[in-house]
Structure 1
Amino acid sequence: MKYWKYGGALACAMLSGCASYHAHYASFDARNSAGEERKFVVEWQSAKYPGWIWFDNETTPVKITTQCSEYELTFRDPGHSECSTEANAIAACGRVGKDISRDGREVSSPTQVCGTVTDANGATHISELGREIMITVSCWPESTTYQDGDEKKNIDYLKHSIVPYTIKTIEAPLFDMNRKPPQLSDNICEK
C-alpha cells in the first residue's frame, strides 16, 4: 500500500492536469479602524485534485491587505492556529497586548478569535469557500502606528463590525498573467 501511494503520487506528478491551481481574490473599499476610507485586497490560493486521487485539496491562508498598512490580517483553517482550533472556523487570532476585543479589553490570549471568514453555506475550511465570502472582524489594533526610527509606520486593518462584510471574489488560474490580485496604490498614504 505504501509503495502504491508513492507510485500514484509520482504518476500524478508526471501527468499534466492532475491538480488545478487557482488564485482567489477581491478588492473592496471600506474603513480601517481609524475610520479612514481605504482599499482592501483579500486573497488566497488553492490546489484542487480530481475525485479519483486520494490527495486532499490544499489552500494557503486567507489574507487581507490594507492600503497604507504593513499589517496583513491572516485567517487560517481549524487546526492551523491556536484560535482557529478553538473556534472550529477559518479564523484570525488576536495579537496579545496589541489588539482590543469587542468588549473593549486587551487581547490576553493567543487563542482569542479576532475575525472569521465563511460563506453563505457556513464553510469552516478555506477549501470550501464559495465565490461570495463573509468576513467578520471583532477586534481593532490598540495602536494603529508604530515608530521605526524617524518614521511612523501604519499597522491598521479592516474596521470591526458586527455585520459581516460580504465580498464577491474572483477565481482565476493561478498563473494567468492577465488575472491576478490588484496592487494597492500608496498615493493616498502620504496625505
Structure 2
Amino acid sequence: MFDCVTTIARASRCLALALPGLMAGCASYYSHYGVFPAANASGEPRQVRVSWQSAEYPQWLWFEDKATPISVVTQCSERRWRLTDASHTRNRGACGDGIRACGEAGMDRLDDRPAGSEAVCMEVVAGPDSRRVADLGGRIELQVFCHPGETERMVEGETENVDYLRASPVPYVIDVRKAPRGALAGRLPDLDDSICEQ
C-alpha cells in the first residue's frame, strides 16, 4: 500500500513539473507592430513604432495568453518607452493599473512639473481590452501626457537625442499588424535614421 501511494505521489509530481513544458509547445507566438507618422515634442515630423510579442494558447487550455510590454520608439531618439500591465510585475511602475508607462525622475515633465515614477506618461486607453497587453486587438489608442525635460543629453561626451512622441489631449489611433513570430511579415520595420543628421 505504501509503495502504491509513493508511486502515485511521484507520478503526480512529475506530471506537475512536466505539464508547463508540454503546454508551452501548444502556444502560438506572434509579433505585433505598428508604425505611424507624428511629431516629437520639438515639433519635428517623425515615424513612431509600437511593438510587442505574444504567446496565445488554445481555448481548451486554462492558461491565459501572455504578452511582453509594449515598446514605443520614436525615430532619431534613444529613448525607449515600455508600457506594462499588471502581469509584468518585475517591470511595473508605480503609476497605477492598466497598460501604462510611468515617468522617470529627471527625464520627464507633466505640464509644468517634474514627472516621477508615480506619474502616468503614456497609457493605452479606450475599452475593456485596455487592461492587459495580451488582450489588445488590431487597433490601439495611445495617450501621451508627458514631454521630455530636455530633448538632448550628454552621454560620454556625445550628444544623445531623447525626444519622443508629442503629448496630446487626443489619443493616437494606431493600426497594429499581427504576424507569426519568425515569419518574414513578423520582422519589425526599421525606422529610417538618414533624416536624423539633417
Q: What are the Cα deviations for residues 22-74 of structure 1, in whole angstroms up to 9, with x where unaligned?
A: 00001100000111100111000000111222322111110111110011111
Number of the residue aligned with 1:9: 20
For residues 109-160 of structure 1, the C-alpha deviation after alignment (integer angstroms, 9 at most, x for no partner) is 3121111014544421101111100000100110010123442110111100
Equivalent residue in structure 1 for 2:179, among 169, 172, 176: 172
Taking structure 2 as the reference length, what is the TM-score of the superposition?
A: 0.85
Residue 69 to residue 128, structure 1, CA distance change in 2 (3 Å): same
Alignment RMSD, CA only? 1.8
Is contact 1:118–1:129 with CA below 8 Å preserved after alignment?
A: no
Secondary structure of the 1:163 match is strand
2:100 is aligned to 91
Q: Distance in 1 between matches of 2:177 and 2:14?
A: 39
The amino acid across from 1:35 in the alignment is: G
The answer as to whether partners of 2:93 and 2:101 remain within 8 angstroms in 1 is: no
Q: Distance in 2 between matches of 1:179 and 1:45?
A: 10
Higher helix share: 2
Counterpart of 2:142 in structure 1: which amino acid? I
- In the alignment, what sits opposite 1:22? 30
How far apart are the structure 1 equivalents of 2:101 and 2:66? Answer: 18
Give the Cα–Cα distance (whole angstroms) in 1 for the partners of residues 22 and 186 of structure 2: 30
> d(CA) in 2 for partners of 1:184 and 1:92?
22
- Could you say which residue in structure 2 is the equivalent of 1:163? 170
Matched with 2:151 is 144
| CA distance in structure 2 between the partners assigned to 1:174 and 1:25 by the alignment | 11
Residue 93 of structure 2 is matched in structure 1 by 82
Do the aligned partners of residues 183 and 119 (structure 1) sit closer, same or farther apart at CA in structure 2, a change above 3 Å counting?
A: farther
Mapped partners of 1:153, 1:6: distance in 2: 47
Structure 2 counterpart SS, 1:162: strand
Segments of structure 1 that go 5 or more residues without pairing to the other structure are none
Q: Does structure 2 retain, via aligned residues, the 8 Å contact 1:78–1:87?
A: no
For 1:184, the equivalent position in structure 2 comes to 191
Q: Counterparts of 2:34 and 2:126 in 1: how far apart (Å)? A: 14
Name the CA distance, whole Å, in 1 between partners of 2:70 and 2:170: 19
Q: Could you tell me which amino acid in structure 2 is paired with residue 48 of structure 1?
A: E
In structure 2, stretches of 5+ residues that fail to align are: 1-11
CA distance in 1, matches of 2:23, 2:139: 31
How many equivalent residue pairs? 184
